[in-house]
Amino acid sequence: MDDRKVYIVRCGEVALKGLNKPYFERMLVERIKKMLKKYDHVEVKRHEGLIFVRADQKIPAEEIIGQISKVFGVASISPAVEVESDIDRIGEAAVEYMLKLIEEKGIHTFKVEAKRADKTFPIQSPDIGKIIGGKVLIGCKVLKVDVHHPDCLLFVDVRRDQSYIYEQKISGFGGLPLGTNGKGLILLSGGIDSPVAAWMMAKRGMLIEAIHFHSYPYTSERAQEKVEELASIVASYCGRFKMHVINLLPIQEEIVQHCPEEETTILVRRFMMRIAERIAQEKDCTMLITGENLGQVASQTAEALVVTDASVKMPVMRPLIAMDKVDIMDKAKEIGTFETSIQPYEDCCTVFLPKHPTTKPKLDKILNSESRLDAEGLINAAVESTKTITIYPRD
């Protein structure tokens, strides 16, 4: 018998995709394989509606589970014991499994939940549960049955070739496998919001690239390193990606010199969007992604967002638009970006910040201000100065 550890991986929304389900499952298997490729002797296969991962006993279970749980499309993972589909063998394995749990966790009560996926198996699910429960009571004298609040819920999954025994269902993030929903370009800053926005769109199956604006020398090299660190955390979920880095300072200086001070923020934002759109088109991205949140700052009022969107033709996705800040912060903590985001390094949005920015800009007035600038020349120069770096997942 294969002596590798077995992990049962369950799909989330992938299971609802009807005729497209095999495609989504294949994509999910490929993503799990890619996430685990640094380990030797790991096998990932689809079988009877589940995905089974087999890994060397020497690899800590928490490492395998940690890696799989980062794969979008995974609903849950269960470390399991694999046994021949014979009621006596299942009973023996269940007793051995529970004895180990008694030693490791000190459990006193249990309940068996049996599932007969193989309908040709001669014993029905309720009876499987009763038989295995009886064998566990005989083999584990310290245990009692508690059907309402058991210390351990023991799952027995009987299938055609092999059966599986487990007691944990460790949650994944769900969502859809990467690569099943196109590619978008995230405007990535060093703040809390945009890394979460990138993560949320990746969770919906979208591949991402990033664009980052800085204002060197007003912004420091350490601020740039901070953004790269945030990007690498996001990459630990969605794999390596390209980040396009652009110095926005020449455009900011032109705006400050020729345009009303209160319009600086919205004008800068429009230039950022137009540059991002140009890069997105070159990189075959179908949409822009931002971390904007309605009403959070002056450039994110409803009126300001309308004026910002008028600068581009490409769709703009704002996955955080209606979230409370506390919820965004909680998500940042969950995915591991929060502590890096709050490091006190400036970004380009804080340079030349007006004392009283307009919160209800009018498009005609903004267009009139932009007419004082060589907008196309400034955008072309910014795009031509782009430096592209590859972001790798953080170890």
148 is in an annotated binding site: no
Stretch (H or E) spanning 330: helix 325-335
Peptide bond into 250 cis (omega under 30): no
212 is in an annotated binding site: yes
CA pair distance 239, 335, nearest whole angstrom = 14
DSSP category for residue 221: H
**Please, which residues have CB within 8 angstroms of residue 77's CB and are 6 or more apart in sequence?**
7, 8, 9, 10, 65, 68, 69, 169, 170, 172
Cβ-contact 314, 288 below 8 angstroms? yes
Q: Is 148 helix (H, G, I), strand (E, B) or coil?
A: coil
CA pair distance 89, 83, nearest whole angstrom = 7
CA pair distance 34, 15, nearest whole angstrom = 21
Tokens of 334: 């969950």
187 is in an annotated binding site: yes
278 is in an annotated binding site: no
Q: Is 192 helix (H, G, I), strand (E, B) or coil?
A: coil
Amino acid at 142: V
94-121 burial: b if 16+ Cβ within 10 Å, else e: bbebbeebbeeeebeebbbbbebbeeeb
Q: Percent helix, strand, coil in the chain (nearest 5)?
A: 45, 20, 35
CA pair distance 271, 260, nearest whole angstrom = 16
CA pair distance 93, 105, nearest whole angstrom = 18
Q: Nearest to residue 230, comparing CAs of 316, 305, 317, 291?
A: 291
User: Known binding site: residues?
Assistant: 187-188, 212-213, 269, 291, 300
User: Known binding site for ATP: residues?
Assistant: 187-188, 212-213, 269, 291, 300
